[in-house]
Amino acid sequence: MAVTSLARARQEAVTMTGNDAIALGMKQINPDVVAAYPITPSTDVVQNFATYVADGQVKSEFVAVESEHSAMSATLGASVAGSRAMTATSSQGLALMWEMLYITASMRAPVVATVVNRAVSGPINIHCDHSDSMGARDSGWIQLYSENAQEAYDNLLQAVRIAEHPDVRLPVMVCLDGFLISHAMENLEILAEKDVTRFVGKHAPSQALLNIKEPVTYGPLALPDYYFEFRRSQAGAMQRAARVILEVGREYGQLTGREYRHFEAYRLEDAEYVVLVLNSAAGTAKDVAEELRARGVRAGVLKLRTFRPLPAEELAATLQGKKAVAVLDRADSLNGVNGPVAAEVRSALYNEALNGSAPKIVNYIYGLGGRDLSLADLHRVYDELAEVVRTGRAPRGANYLGIRE
């Protein structure tokens, strides 16, 4: 789909929480069906949207189900029937959806789900880390991560277009940090509902289960003679999604002045030491980079927005020539080596490493269960990157940042 030319829309400055911004975005999108079960810290999304439904401010059918597994089942059913369908969840709720996540992606259902990131038990913890969405990274969903409430709102609107694009037809997760973003009041700019309607467009499903004139089958049995081809088709759609994400991001930039790419390169032009991070910790990293810049240290930040599909070539090109990169993971793969983002960044840079131009990579696990990431923690990271460059030796495995041990 070609990028259309859009006039800059007038926007309203508001103050609200990340959850409120998501619920408002859903109201403006006005999906046909929302099925959800409340779980901390995403409860406000569901509660606020249910209020919009009860007050007659949207035409959506809200389905109050008995569990998150049922929520994704109902959302998937609505989507393949031809509806624009959405949901929201966190942590154990996403885990309870596990079976249906894979089925939703394999059926190429363009569902949009907000994931308010929270630690996965045990022990029980209601605060932020990324173990929920990182656990679902290979389920076939596109994943977009949000630094703040503005990005969460913007990502949600773009997610509809990305998911429903005829070259993609895959579900999308919009991720934001629990409590840090979901419950924090922030300033942001929102579009008028008419501009959102124009941007997301009318839902036009290509193959609806209830279209009796052109009947289709969803979820058939596929034994060794066909299953492999189904999976390869999904992989191709994920690869094509990388281009579509950029196209939609450019179009959204025309509309709002906020263009979105796969990642934000902050002070990277001449940077020697780079911190690569997702979501809200990027703001803290930028502040520390500025402090170090004032002292003559060439510090930069790469904030990754698109984790699925991973923009491997772009990452390698952007990080080429840097001296050292710290990859910060707010989840631990428990693989005995490193966190999930670090593993993928190392893979993306592997070919560059073969020709000697790749930077040293250091992995840090931080913030599990909601533990704060301090300015001092990030100063330590940059100091250790400088030491890696000085000695030429990077530590093996993951380093645990801000932990008592």
Walk me through the domains of the chain, giving residue ranges and CATH numbers: 11-256 (3.40.50.970), 263-400 (3.40.50.920)
pLDDT tens by residue, 288-321: 999 999 999 999 999 999 999 999 999 999 999 9
Q: Is the peptide bond before 31 cis (omega within 30 degrees of 0)?
A: no
Strand partners, 173: 113, 143
Q: Which tokens hold the place of 298?
A: 């060439």
H/E stretch holding 187 reads: strand 185-191
pLDDT tens by residue, 174-228: 999 999 999 999 999 999 999 999 999 999 998 899 888 999 999 889 999 999 9
Q: Which tokens hold the place of 396?
A: 């093996």
Return the SS3 of 96: helix
| 161 vs 307: CA distance, rounded Å | 18
**Which residues, including other chains, have CB under 8 Å from residue 325's CB and lie 6 or more apart?**
273, 274, 275, 276, 302, 319, 345, 359, 360, 361, 362, 385
Question: What integer best gives the mean pLDDT of the chain?
Answer: 96
Q: Which tokens hold the place of 241?
A: 């999604």
> Percent of the chain at pLDDT above 90?
93
**Which residues, including other chains, have CB under 8 Å from residue 370's CB and lie 6 or more apart?**
119, 125, 126, 127, 128, 129, 178, 179
Whether 354 shows a pLDDT value over 90: the answer reads: no
pLDDT tens by residue, 87-132: 999 999 999 999 999 999 999 999 999 999 999 999 999 999 999 9
How many C-beta neighbours within 10 Å does residue 283 have? 14
**Which residues, including other chains, have CB under 8 Å from residue 81's CB and lie 6 or more apart?**
208, 209, 210
Its pTM stands at: 0.97
Strands 85-89, 112-117: pairing kind:
parallel
How many C-beta neighbours within 10 Å does residue 323 have? 16
